[in-house]
Chains A and B, each alone.
Chain A
Amino acid sequence: MTTKNILVFGEVEKGRLAPITKELLGGARRLSDQVGAGVNLLVAGALSGESLQDAAEFGTDIIYHATDPGYGEFSSDAYSFLAVELCKKIDPVLCLMGQTDLGRDIAPRIAARLGAGLCMDCVEVRFDPAQNIFVQTRPAFGGKALAEFSSPAGKLQVNTIRAKSMEPAATQAGRKSELMEIKEGPDPSAIKTKLVSVKVLETDGIKLEEAKIIVAGGGGLGSAEGFTIIKELADALGGVIGATRVPVDENWVPLSIEIGQTGKIVSPDLYIAIGISGAAQHITGMVSSKKIVAINKDPDANIFKISDLGLVADYKTVVPVLIEKIKESAR
């Protein structure tokens, strides 16, 4: 007999639970209280005592920790195998993952193997007690639309969740969870791809997803030099730079700072968009920012529709003034 449960596939970053995992645990905790289920967390690879404590305090009931070296680094094949085996054993009603490298990769694979329902990139999962089903909301058409799906009752749902769409639960200091070790490694026949190298584009300082202030540039900056200018503005404000897809495609900036549907999802306190038109695929990744400021030479640019403050100007003439004034104010 297994007890009714929601399973979160967790991720670890630098030895601690990743922000997305805390968000998922928050969402899972709220759903589990409505559904009457426990919250289980699956994590693979090296794990610090702190992240075990994090997991407990953020609402986990049982932590399944896969310790075999075969799970030491991310492998779509191995992690799919792991998730499927655990789901067969503990029979969750809902399996949540982030819309991350991991979730994008393994969610469809485990759903196929378990005959589960699948919904990717959800911004909301709620429980409908009348029908005893989960209802998912997700963006579609590059963020131009939102779509709501209902899932069949009594069937496992595998859902990936967009960053920053679930609130982490309030931590309960000293809360305890049960730790179960999964000692078995992956079935060797399940491993069909071999990771040969990893390239990490290190960001200096604050991570884009965690920054409080982002100064983002678009195609309107015209060149890599344009990004040197907005970097100075970001530095003056104590923020970081981001970009739309155009500067990434043009190789002015690395892919790691792309914001939007196919890039990062951000929600800072202040987002300054410079030379950005406001395409749906970009907006979907930043629209939940607390305050949005836009500088664009086109008064009809779509970005102004979603901004709190706007300035119609050539960025080259106004951004240097902004930098100077901000530096002045800091003195």
Chain B
Amino acid sequence: MEIIVCIKPVLDPDLPPAKFTVDGKKNEVIPPEGVPFVMSPYDALAVEAALRIKEAQGGKITVLTQGTKYAEEIMRKALAMGADEGVILSDPAFEDSDGFGTAHVLAQTVKKIGKFDLILCGRQAADWDAGVVGSLIAEYLNIPVVIRAKSIEVLDGVLKIERISTNGSEVFELGLPALVTLSSEMGQVRIPSGWGIISAAKKQVPKWGATDIGTDPSQTGAAAAVNRLVKLYVPVYERKCEMVTGKDPAEAAARLTEKILAIKP
């Protein structure tokens, strides 16, 4: 199995709301000092899924990430988890691409790599949360796609995917090559071992740009974005909270009950 995994660095999604601020002029998030970017958690699940398949039946895992900032860090993490190779897609022309632009870059990279059976992505990047890049790559490569998988089985060249749905789950069968996006129901992601970290540090990770992968300049970068971000802001949801107290928890609870009964529909 030749597996390609696409990963993205994101501002740590567990950052508490109090530390989250936006530059209203530039329409950009201001990353707080000392808070590292991380591999988008769903993408880490995609790496994990690839490793499980490789452990079950052998194969090679190549990780792709597009970006300049933090690409190196998260690539090392994926390699330390056990991925075999990585490529960083880095070119000023790629910066600030929208979902279509990003998918174009990744699809072109996959074409250049040539040989692959399975592409894995996270169900959505934990920053913009759109959840479209995986499906768009599949469209550009004209291969089948299943989104939000919780388990992947490969049997005689047929993929069996269980994916979550609003009211339960569904099982699909599809042929290879294919693209699958992973959801958190897949389970735990492994922590890199010391040995993994050491061997990852030694690996060469090539950087490819627009000319290496033959992207169409009219399809990447901020200028190619179809819908444009015009405003980014922090919504204010705060309400005035009446704190209910009492001489002991039981009394406080009794008071709260009265208030609940008063507002209960």
Contact = CB atoms under 8 A, between A and B. Distances in A.
Given A108-B136, A112-B139, A321-B250, 19 more contacts: A116-B226, A120-B130, A136-B227, A141-B13, A141-B128, A195-B171, A199-B171, A200-B168, A261-B129, A270-B260, A280-B20, A308-B240, A309-B244, A310-B243, A310-B244, A311-B243, A318-B252, A325-B254, A329-B257
A304 B97 CA distance: 38
A262 B169 CA distance: 15
A206 interface: no
Given A101-B166, A145-B232, A193-B146, A269 B226 contact: no
28 contacts: A108-B99, A109-B136, A109-B138, A113-B139, A117-B227, A139-B129, A140-B232, A149-B227, A151-B226, A151-B227, A152-B227, A193-B174, A196-B172, A198-B165, A213-B264, A272-B260, A280-B17, A291-B263, A305-B238, A305-B241, A307-B241, A308-B242, A311-B253, A313-B252, A313-B253, A325-B254, A326-B257, A326-B261
Contacts of B167: 200-201, 203, 256
Given A121-B130, A310-B243, A325-B253, A147 B227 contact: no
A270 B241 contact: no
B259 interface: yes
Contacts of B240: 308
A237 interface: yes
Nearest to B187: A249
A198 B235 CA distance: 38
Contact of B241 (A142, A200, A280, A308): A308
Nearest to A268: B265
A104 B139 contact: no
Contact of B244 (A100, A256, A311): A311
Interface of A: 76-77, 100-101, 104-105, 107-109, 111-113, 116-121, 135-136, 139-142, 144-152, 155, 157, 192-201, 203, 212-213, 237, 245, 249, 255-256, 261-262, 264, 269-270, 272, 279-281, 283, 287, 291-295, 302, 304-314, 317-319, 321-322, 325-326, 329
B265 A213 contact: yes
Give the dominant DSSP class at B's interface: mixed
Contacts of A157: 227
A162 B171 CA distance: 25
Nearest to B10: A141
A325 B174 CA distance: 55
Contacts of B244: 309-311
Contacts of B254: 321, 325
B252 A311 contact: yes
A255 B185 contact: yes
B227 A142 contact: no
B265 A269 contact: yes
Interface in B12-32: 13-18, 20, 22, 29
A192 B144 contact: yes
B130 A311 contact: no
A135 B243 CA distance: 39
Nearest to B15: A144
A198 B237 CA distance: 38
Top 5 closest pairs, chain A to chain B, by CB: A192-B144, A321-B253, A112-B139, A108-B132, A318-B253
B127 A150 contact: no
Given A113-B139, A196-B172, A148 B237 contact: no
Nearest to B139: A112
A293 B147 contact: no
A141 B11 contact: yes
B227 A146 contact: no
B55 to A, nearest CB: 23
Nearest to A100: B166
B249 A195 contact: no
A307 B140 CA distance: 46
Contacts of A120: 129-132
Contacts of B172: 193-196
Given A144-B17, A196-B173, A305-B238, A152 B226 contact: yes
